[in-house]
Structure 1
Amino acid sequence: MRNKVVYIMMLLASIFGNRFISYSQDLTQYVDPFIGTGAHGHTFPGPCLPHGMVQVSPDTGEDGWDWCSGYHDSDTSLMGFSLTHLSGTGAADLGDILFMAYTGGWKTEPGSKEHPGEGYRSIFSHQDEQASVGYYSVMLKSYGIKAELTATARCALQRYTYPKTGDRDMIIDLGRGIQNKTVSSSIRFVGDDAVEGYRQSTGWAHDRYVYFYAKFNQPIEKKAIDNDGQIEEDKAAGTGKIEKALIRFSGTTGQPVLVKVSISAVSIANAKANLESGLPGWDFSAVRASAEKSWNKLLSKIEVEGGSTAEKRTFYTAVYHSLLAPYLYSDVNGQYVGMDRKVHQAQGFHYYTVFSLWDTFRAAHPLYSLIEPKTNDDFVKSMLAMYKEGGRLPVWELDSNETWCMIGNHSIPVIADACLHGHPDFNIAEAYQAMKATVEDTIRGMKAYHQYGYVPDNVENNSVSITVEYAYDDWCVAQVARKLGKMADYRKYMQRAENYKNLYNPATRFLQGKDTQGQWREPFNPIDVSRLGSDDFTEGNSWQYTFFAPQDVDGLVHLIGGKKAFAHKLDSLFDQPSINNNPGEPDVSGMIGQYAQGNEPSHEIAYLYDYVGEPYKTADRVREIMDSLYTDTRSGLCGNDDCGQMSAWYVFGAMGFYPVNPSSGEYAIGSPVFSKITLHTGSGHPFEVEAKDVSKANKYIQSATLNGKDYPYSYITRKTIEQGGRLIFRMGDKPSSWATQPKDCPVSHIDY
């Protein structure tokens, strides 16, 4: 019988090839959720499923830029464990429904970091922390309590092991949030083993409701409600501005206290249904194992061989961080709160939230499009629902609130990529109408952009950055117009895609601010960094933004003076002093010259050497960035992870290619880190990238073959990858002539 099974498996393999991914290798061992929790990475260490609704994690602080996720490695005390967190953002919110276990009688305030004993806050040591995929634990040293967390898609399961003697107390504090304010809240005890309620808050997202339902594995012995600062013993419910449930369990059972909880943006009833559906039992180990299995399945979409353990940890943690956001927002019954603040029903898709599009359109969404295309289609459907319910496509959406953070209309390249290169199961014509309506809007400098062909600096701040990003979005709209046969629209938007040229000053050879009269901004220094909402550039300077024309790199090369002049200007960028002359803009970080890996505007620049026949310089710079600015330590990110964009950049870089133009279906080739990667796309055909003799020194491609045939090109298409096959690089320690001829370079130009 065994021989027959083996024969059948061999037969299937011979027929289908390697279409079925083996999950026997535990790739979760290489994920360290603590990476990025130090320095300015702004990640959180608690468990969450891929794109999960719940992100249960410790909160060490609520105030300050480095506490946008609620946790920072520099802290030695924590106030509890809330259910929602942002990953890697530069602005703060969430931190809803805080649970904290403690001993010694009722405590209603957390206390300060300086004096944690004043409240329920506890000191802890990083030596007593553990974080892995689907699991977090810490010893609360102030109370001798071990806290453990795990999660499902919509639920959190917490386990608290108290000392054998003494009170076993807990608080559910609805007054806490990460840099937001509680507007109103309600809490109610249900029987002797459950608590339900809601928290309404205002912050970065103007109006949010989080409903919850929590159930305990043992009866509550004593209860009280703190209603806006007044403790009322044995009270069953309270509604006010800030409500807190005070809970005491029997000290005689000796068993750990478990609490399972789910949330909803719609109602308490939906939160309860989410819990009953997603977490019916109490088996902590089984829930943890299920989370590990879910993550291992997704991590296995990219299998690597070779490399050091540190490189694998850096890589797979980057994959992990890339796949946290966007977050599931619709409940188990399909209901969600839309941009119009009304309850809607998702038909045939899951509705998602947290779209950090100024960041993630560059590499994170292209990664989703490759390895989880069906989920990416749901992201697109969510954006289209936002258009229907809110009147325009999202800019930076958070819990169905438009925050208007950052610039551009970068839902458009995400939707365009799905229309052009995916296998969309949404209506492309309807998607096009949403895209067109958005770029024809007149807000956020767009009226002036339409009138002048650029955004004048006396009309809108960040005018140069806004202009070049609107021009790219126009190119994306044009490509979908052509697919639909709308050639008049195609020509219109392709013409607008050249608008970046209107801000190129041939005298300075940089992009520069210009007013409504056509006068250049003076004085001008390309090194001057400006912030979001001030001066001419968004979190950057002219050195960084002058190179942003991914839709027309060839046109930009011509504008600057040809290939040699362009390559020289790239060299000069990296050779400038590594300074940020604006201390009020910390996002400009991770600097190599004036290249700033710590913020998104620089992310495609190192790959531009490919377009002028100098791919060995791309290899030099990409490897320098990966080797010096990414590590497997808590401070292993050189800037905010920005909902996975910083991590997705590394994932592509380590694989050996990058989407310079995220909607083109083409990737520029760099320098792979591993001796072999196997990429499992949605097509079912694995694609292998093998780098023979690769090492830190052997970073230059000497030659390449694709499926056994010579491959002289410094780019590869998504279509080629999805067809499956094997791309083999021969690596060496010196630059070569590979892909240096004009016919071998990527092509990027405006043609209408």
Structure 2
Amino acid sequence: MSTCLAAILLTAIASVTAETDFTQYVNVFQGTTGGGNRFPGVVAAPFAMAKLGPDVQSGTTDAYSGYLPSGNIWGFSMMHESGTGGAPKYGVVSQMPVIGNVSNPLADLSQERASADQAKVGYYKASLKTDVVVELAASEHAGLYQYTFPKASTPCVVVDVSHVLPSFRGLGWEQHYSKGNISILPDGHYEGSGTYNNGWNLSPDWNIYFCGKFNQKPSTSKTFKGTGTGTTLASYDTTNSVSGTERLGAVFSFKDTNVTSRVGISYISSVNACQHLDKEIPATTSLQSLVDRARSTWNTRVLSKIQTSSTNATDLQLLYSSLFGMFLIPSNLTGENPGWTSSEPYYSDVFTLWDTHRSHTPLFHILEPVVYEEFIRSLIDIWRHDGFMPDARSSNYNGRVQGGSNADNVLADAYVKGVRGAINWADGFSAMVTDAETTPPNNHDPKAPDSSTKEGRGALPDWIKYGYITPAFTRAVSRAVEYSANDFGLYQVAKGLGKSAEAQKYLERSRNWRNHWNPDCTSNNHSGFVVPRRANGSFIEQDPLSCGGCYWGDAYYEDNPWVYSMNALHDVATLKKYIGGDAKFVDRINKLFDLKIFNAGNEPGFTSPYLYNFVSGMQHMSVKRSRDIGKLYNSGTGGLPGNSDAGAMESNILWQMIGLWPLTGQTTFLILSPWFSQMTIDLGSGKSLKISSTGGNKDTAFYVQSLQVNGKAWDKAWVTWQDVFANGGTMDFVLGPSPANWTTGELPPSLAAGDA
């Protein structure tokens, strides 16, 4: 493509972008069925604290995000998470519209839908069988409920402080309501708080405060408390103020059938909740103005960051729906930290770095660099005050750790890619050293009672003593593989900080995955797999196609030895040698697919399809696998191949579209093949990465024939951060229907194997 033509096309893209509302391509219901667990309700800005939406009950099905496509709505609540698993979290500060006299607010007040819910960015609508229409909008810390009741009805709104999302899995991870209080003030507004615990991260009691106001003074208002549901009547309190461990709330009735309810929330106090409400949604605020604000915010901060020349509606819907879903959590709670006073940013609802560190956080860095720096600072500040960085965090409490201390990987990735700003990297490295050297106290998780699942590396005693992890600890093999990657992260930062002794120490420890490698373990014409190892050094016999239950109490977590044996991504040269050379390495990747081992919906295998790039002339196979994986996605309700996992799944398909794959903790990006003839990624500070392709298409002619990077011919199957992201750059692909041997240059580095 000529430089002149490219310039014309890019100018055209910029012109279209200036006039485009990218939210028109977002299906907020993407990934809400089929186990995707996406939250479709109102999130007014990326990482907003308030996530306002419906809570649905349907038999004994867990509603992880509150939403289910079928079932009765039993409340609309202010707080949710998106794409989480294990058990639901939040579903608190709830209210439900009811027609007529409410004799027992503890009874089942849920309602069927009259039609399917409708939603778009910043807006949600539910129509109930009672002919009540509920419309929702929000700001960062407050929500607006607009109720339209039938004419001549008696409108009521029931506020239920004791409402939480339940779990029916029987694993002991269900949430509990502990206590609360609510008071109705003389002007008709109400304030209070609720205390809750448990959920997927097993957190102890935590508090949320609320402040609610209506557009009209209620005709009647009364608080209630009780212990029953449909059998024990609630006791109404004439003082309009109740507290206690019983279920409690308030009931408001109105004369006008158009009722607007505004609610602010805070982790600090009800005073703060009222301040958020009055500042962000004043009494004169219209629902449409909030919708417009949300749409503008999402367009500016996220959606416009990736621009393409495509006019294919299907591709655009997948692109922008995935971008939206990627930035719903974590939650920015800066100024809302109840645990300590600090001038540092603060983020919670991190689910989980085990899920997101492979592909989500690298793209988070690129598209939201300012917020990403804040997120890194928050991780370090949590260590300053709580003692450990989180691998996961919710309701201001660390947990649960599924494998390694993957905040180490995230910090290393930020460091090697030059993230500095206001980050105190001395403290950052100290936080990483805490993970690497300090065994966290055991929190006695019933599913993994051997060591802490709250934070840090619970199996550290074995790791330090033996250089591997024995079956005395659950998830021994998968943790060992992850601990190796974590220690590689420490090596990267120590080296950058000039700490040569520490760098050498953690480089050597990053090779400890090799101590689990049993060369005599065989499967499907392959020898050598990571397996359990006893304290006396002997290996335990292991079928590489089996991982037992693949869960908390097993040697491998959520995947089998075939996958984890390919996960030493910082030491691939050694891995190739152990497997038997290039041909066997390629065949082993092939076997992941031939034997149907690979699961595109499971994070441990995310990078496996692209390891072909470590073999000269085999990059085309990474492209083929990438395209096959892309077929598993769409923008529909079942459009994710697995649980969203806080946007990890969405980030995966976005990298396929871009045509690159990150290796977290390294500056290396493996080259795939872009989907679009033109794509521009806004890197901030006036920089951009411009990607073009000619001669092919996304579906049938996608193999790379040649590539120029920054105007120069390129013969490597990888680029670095410095090549295309640090200062921006260009990547110009020529594509075709058949593979071409264009990758004749040096292979991607394997730093733990000694590559410079």
TM-score, scaled relative to structure 1: 0.89
Q: Partners of 1:537 and 1:442 in 2: how far apart?
A: 21
Letter in 2 for 1:603: F
Say which SS state the counterpart of residue 35 (structure 2) adopts: coil
Within 2, Cα distance between the matches of 1:67 and 1:160? 24
Distance in 2 separating the partners of 1:676 and 1:17: 11
2:512 paired residue among 492, 499, 503: 499
1:202 and 1:208 in contact (8 A); partners too: yes
Deviations 1:228-252 (A, max 9, x none): 243315431100114433433333x
Q: 1:95 to 1:646 in 2, by over 3 A?
A: same
Contact 2:570 2:750 in 1 (8 A): no
Alpha-carbon separation, structure 2, partners of 1:379 and 1:47: 22
C-alpha separation between the residues in 2 aligned to 1:387 and 1:18?
44
The letter of the residue matching 1:442 is T
Counterparts of 1:529 and 1:567, CA distance in 2: 27
Greater displacement, 207-216 / 416-425: 416-425
CA distance in 2, matches of 1:423, 1:19: 28
Conserved in 2, the CA contact under 8 Å of 1:715 and 1:746?
Answer: no
Are residue 157 (structure 1) and residue 157 (structure 2) matched?
Answer: no
Q: Does 2:649 correspond to 1:635?
A: no
1:689-700 → structure 2 map (5 Å cutoff): 689-692=691-694, 693-700=696-703
- Deviation readout 1:622-641 (Å, 9 max, x if unpaired): 110111x2112111112111
- Distance in 2 (CA, whole Å) between partners of 1:19 and 1:496 is 48
Amino acid at match of 1:510: F
- Counterpart-to-counterpart distance in 2, 1:243 and 1:235: 17
Tell me the secondary structure at the aligned position of residue 204 of structure 2.
coil
Deviation of 1:104 after TM superposition, in Å, equals 2.4
| Match of residue 666 from structure 1 | 668
CA contact (8 A) 1:318 1:647 kept: yes
1:580-634 Cα distance to aligned partner (Å, 9 max, x none): xxxxxxxxxxxxx10011111011111111111211110111110111x211211
Alignment of 1:249-288 (within 5 A): 249-251=253-255, 253-254=256-257, 256-280=258-282, 281-288=284-291
- The one of 481, 494, 500 aligned to 1:487: 500
Matches within 5 A, 1:171-570: 171-179=158-166, 180-204=175-199, 205-229=203-227, 230-232=234-236, 234-251=238-255, 253-254=256-257, 256-280=258-282, 281-297=284-300, 298-306=302-310, 308-330=312-334, 334-338=335-339, 344-347=340-343, 349-424=345-420, 425-443=422-440, 444-457=458-471, 459-508=472-521, 509-570=528-589
Residue 686 of structure 1 aligns to a residue in which SS? strand
Tell me the distance in 1 between the aligned counterparts of 2:714 and 2:673.
15
Question: Residues 645-703 of structure 1, C-alpha deviation per residue, up to 9 Å, x if partnerless?
Answer: 111111111111111x2121221111222222110113421111112232301121111
Matched residues in 1 for 2:82 and 2:42: separation? 12
- Residue 655 of structure 1 is aligned with which of 658, 683, 692? 658
Q: Which runs of 4+ in 1 moved over 6 A?
A: 16-21
Please give the alpha-carbon distance, in whole angstroms, between the structure 2 residues aligned to 1:246 and 1:198: 13
Q: Is the 8 A contact 2:674 2:698 kept in 1?
A: no
Matches within 5 A, 1:140-155: 140-141=128-129, 143-155=130-142
- Cα deviation, 1:281-317, whole Å, max 9, x if unaligned, reads 4211111100000001121111122263122212211
Which residue type is aligned with residue 445 of structure 1? A
Give yes or no for contact 1:619–1:700 (8 Å, CA) kept in 2: yes
- CA distance change for structure 1 residues 414 and 525 in 2, over 3 Å: closer, same or farther? closer
Contact 2:547 2:554 in 1 (8 A): no
- What one-letter code is carried by the residue in structure 2 that aligns with 1:623? R
1:199 to 1:519, Cα distance in 2 relative to 1, 3 A: same
* Partner SS for 1:680: strand
Q: Report whether the alignment pairs 1:122 with 2:111.
A: yes
Q: In structure 1, which of residues 61, 66, 78 is the aligned counterpart of residue 73 of structure 2?
A: 78
Q: Secondary structure at the match of 2:578?
A: helix
Q: Is the 8 A contact 1:21 1:300 kept in 2?
A: no
Q: How many residues align?
A: 698
1:69 match: secondary structure: coil
Task: Supply the distance in 2 between the matched residues of 1:595 and 1:667 (Cα, whole angstroms).
Answer: 21
How far did 1:20 drift?
12
**Structure 2 CA distance, aligned partners of 1:350 and 1:469?**
26
How far did residue 531 of structure 1 move? 2.8
Q: CA deviation at 1:391?
A: 1.0
- What SS does structure 1 have at the residue aligned with 2:573? helix
Q: 1:88 — aligned with what?
A: 83
Query: What is the distance in 1 between the residues matched to 2:722 and 2:367?
Result: 14
CA distance in 1, matches of 2:250, 2:336: 31
Contact 1:187–1:243 (CA<8 Å) still a contact in 2?
no
* Larger deviation, residues 710-719 vs 21-30: 21-30
Q: 3-state SS of the aligned residue for 1:311?
A: helix
The SS at the match of 2:706 is strand
- Tell me, in whole angstroms, the C-alpha distance in 2 between the residues paired with 1:432 and 1:63: 48
Question: 2:136 aligns to what SS in structure 1?
Answer: strand
Report SS of the residue matched to 2:193.
Answer: strand
Counterpart contact for 2:550–2:560, Cα < 8 Å = no
Aligned pair 1:131/2:116, yes or no?
no
Paired residue secondary structure (1:515): coil
What is the match of residue 524 of structure 2? Answer: none
1:618 alignment partner in structure 2? 622
Q: Match of 1:669, as an amino acid?
A: I
- Report the Cα distance in structure 2 between the residues aligned to 1:726 and 1:523, rounded to whole angstroms: 47
Shift of the 631–17 alpha-carbon distance from structure 1 to 2, 3 Å rule, reads: closer
Deviation per CA, 1:107-143, whole angstroms, max 9, x where unpaired?
Answer: 65576xxxxxxx3111115x442111111101012x1
Could you give the per-residue CA deviations for residues 74-128 of structure 1, whole angstroms, max 9, x where no partner exists?
x2321111111111111221111111111022165576xxxxxxx3111115x44
Aligned-pair RMSD on alpha carbons? 2.2
| Separation of aligned partners in 2, 1:676 and 1:19 | 11
Q: Which residue of 2 aligns with 1:588?
A: none
Distance 1:655 1:66, change over 3 A: farther
Separation (CA, whole Å) in 1 of partners of 2:216 and 2:564 = 59
Partner of 1:316: helix, strand, or coil?
helix
Task: Confirm or deny that 1:682 pairs with 2:684.
Answer: yes
For 2:121, give the aligned amino acid: V
Unaligned runs of 5+ in 2: 1-7, 167-174, 228-233, 441-457, 522-527
Match for residue 230 of structure 2? none
- Tell me what 1:341 maps to: none
The residue identity in structure 2 corresponding to 1:666 is T
1:464 Cα deviation from its structure 2 partner:
0.7
In 1, distance between residues paired with 2:32 and 2:650?
13
- Separation in 2, partners of 1:65, 1:537: 27
SS at structure 1 position matched to 2:470: coil
Aligned equivalents of 1:682, 1:273: Cα separation in 2: 32
Using a 3 Å threshold, how does the CA distance of structure 1 residues 171 and 259 change in structure 2: closer, same or farther? same
Distance 1:67 1:353 in 2: 17
Cα distance, 1:738 vs structure 2: 1.8
Which amino acid in 1 is paired with 2:123?
Y
* Alignment pair present for 1:598 and 2:612: no
Q: Given residue 33 of structure 1, which amino acid in structure 2 is its aligned partner?
A: V
What is the CA–CA distance in structure 2 between the aligned matches of 1:728 and 1:71, rounded to whole Å? 42
Distance 1:460 1:210 in 2: 36
Q: Distance in 1 between matches of 2:745 and 2:352?
A: 36
CA distance, structure 2, for counterparts of residue 231 and residue 419 of structure 1: 58
Q: 8 Å contact 1:352–1:379 — kept in the other structure?
A: no
Aligned-pair distance for 1:347? 1.2
- In the alignment, which residue of structure 1 is the partner of 2:453? none
What secondary structure does 2:690 align onto? strand
